[in-house]
Amino acid sequence: MIEKVKDEFVLAIDPSLLTIKDLNRLIAYNRYKNKGTLVNLVKKGVLARK
């Protein structure tokens, strides 16, 4: 799921620290293409813009 957003974002934390909620947000982005979910992950510190 992270591969699909690699053009704009990189993972800012260790993959083992991802929570179920973080993964569910990534799934929601892939399903609905809602940029707001990515913004929330950036605010939380999970993703970082390139």
- Tell me what the mean pLDDT of segment 29-44 comes to: 91
* Statement: residue 32 has pLDDT above 80: yes
Q: What is the pTM of this model?
A: 0.80
What is the Rg, in whole angstroms, of the alpha carbon atoms belonging to the chain?
Answer: 10
Whether the per-residue pLDDT at 1 is higher than 80: the answer is: no
Q: Are 22 and 28 in contact (CB under 8 A)?
A: no
What are the structure tokens assigned to 33, written together? 């293409």
**40, β-bridge pairs:** none
As beta bridge partners, residue 47 has 11
Q: What angle do CA 35, 10, 38 make, to 5 degrees?
A: 15
CB-CB contact of 39 with 5 (8 Å): no
The rounded percent of the chain whose pLDDT value lies above 70 is: 100
